[in-house]
């Protein structure tokens, strides 16, 4: 039984998958858990020596739970295709696998947005609970966008960060935020929440202030200002999408 299995969730990640697998080379096993990619992701992953499992994507929590159930024991380190495991993180993870009473560890991330390491506006330390003991961890199925891990044991914190190349340019950022925003609006709709007039002003302003001031986005200068404004804009868009859902419901 492998002591440490790296699991990489994918959907059309031919650009990143080879380098991601290479960064995970110290693991005992590597699984690419794929949502039926239509590009060369699977071909590249298999050529790099990873096992491939395909599973229909419903939401992030269910996908991660399905991936966890595919591993028989030991520990799983979840990594996204646009993330990289450093040698320091690999060594630190190994050192902590056999600590008594622990069921998971959260890991900080160094996020590179538009090619710039971003340490403000909520993108650092950006802890992600990704190192999980199989059988003692699962994802809350009610949290379908930003996954929440439930542990049967203690949670520790590692110091070495994952490297995350999450947005190369504004277009990529916009496309991804559009998907997140639509998903979050759908959840609000399913919770029977209706948008109020003040939501279109107060929520975007709060989001901007939270990012730029509370989470120190100003320390990243114009880069932090742009990111904070974009996140405020997508908060506005979320309530616009929610309004359209309710308007469509009222149509005969």
Question: Quick one: pLDDT at residue 251?
Answer: 64
> pLDDT > 90: what percent of the chain?
90
In this structure, the strands spanning 116-117 and 109-113 are antiparallel
Report whether pLDDT(51) > 80: yes
175-232 residue pLDDT tens = 989 988 998 999 999 999 999 999 999 999 999 999 999 999 999 999 999 999 999 9
Cα–Cα distance measured from residue 54 to residue 10, given in angstroms and rounded to the nearest whole number: 9
Q: Is 62 helix (H, G, I), strand (E, B) or coil?
A: helix
Which residue has tokens 């030991």? 74
Rg (the chain; Cα; Å)? 19
Cα–Cα distance measured from residue 31 to residue 28, given in angstroms and rounded to the nearest whole number: 10
Task: Place 142 in a pLDDT band, splitting at 50, 70 and 90.
Answer: confident
Structural domains of the chain, with CATH: 4-166 (3.90.550.10), 169-250 (no CATH)
Cα–Cα distance measured from residue 250 to residue 252, given in angstroms and rounded to the nearest whole number: 6
Tokens of 20: 């991601």
Closest CA to 170 of 81, 232, 230: 230
119-133 residue pLDDT tens = 999 999 999 999 999
Report whether pLDDT(138) > 90: yes
């Amino acid at each position: 039984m492998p002591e440490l299995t790296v699991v990489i969730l994918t959907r059309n990640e031919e650009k990143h998958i080879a380098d991601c697998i290479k960064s995970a080379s110290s693991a005992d096993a590597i699984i690419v858990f794929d949502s039926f990619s239509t590009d060369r992701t699977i071909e590249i992953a298999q050529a790099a020596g990873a096992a491939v499992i395909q599973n229909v994507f419903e939401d992030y929590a269910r996908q991660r739970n399905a991936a966890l159930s595919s591993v028989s024991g030991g520990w799983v380190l979840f990594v996204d295709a646009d993330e990289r495991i450093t040698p320091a993180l690999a060594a630190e993870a190994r050192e902590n696998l056999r600590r008594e009473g622990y069921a998971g560890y959260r890991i900080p991330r160094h996020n590179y947005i538009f090619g710039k390491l971003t340490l403000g506006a909520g993108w650092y330390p950006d802890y992600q609970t990704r190192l999980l003991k199989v059988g003692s961890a699962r994802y809350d199925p009610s949290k379908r966008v930003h996954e929440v891990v439930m542990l049967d044991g203690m949670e520790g914190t590692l110091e070495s960060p994952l490297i995350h190349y999450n947005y190369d340019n504004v277009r990529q950022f916009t496309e991804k935020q559009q998907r997140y925003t639509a998903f979050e609006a759908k959840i609000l709709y399913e919770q029977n929440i209706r948008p109020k007039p003040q939501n279109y002003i107060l929520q975007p302003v709060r989001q901007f202030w939270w990012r730029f001031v509370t989470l120190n986005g100003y320390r990243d200068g114009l880069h932090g200002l742009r990111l904070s404004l974009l996140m405020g804009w997508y908060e506005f868009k979320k309530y616009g999408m929610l309004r359209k859902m309710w308007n469509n419901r009222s149509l005969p």
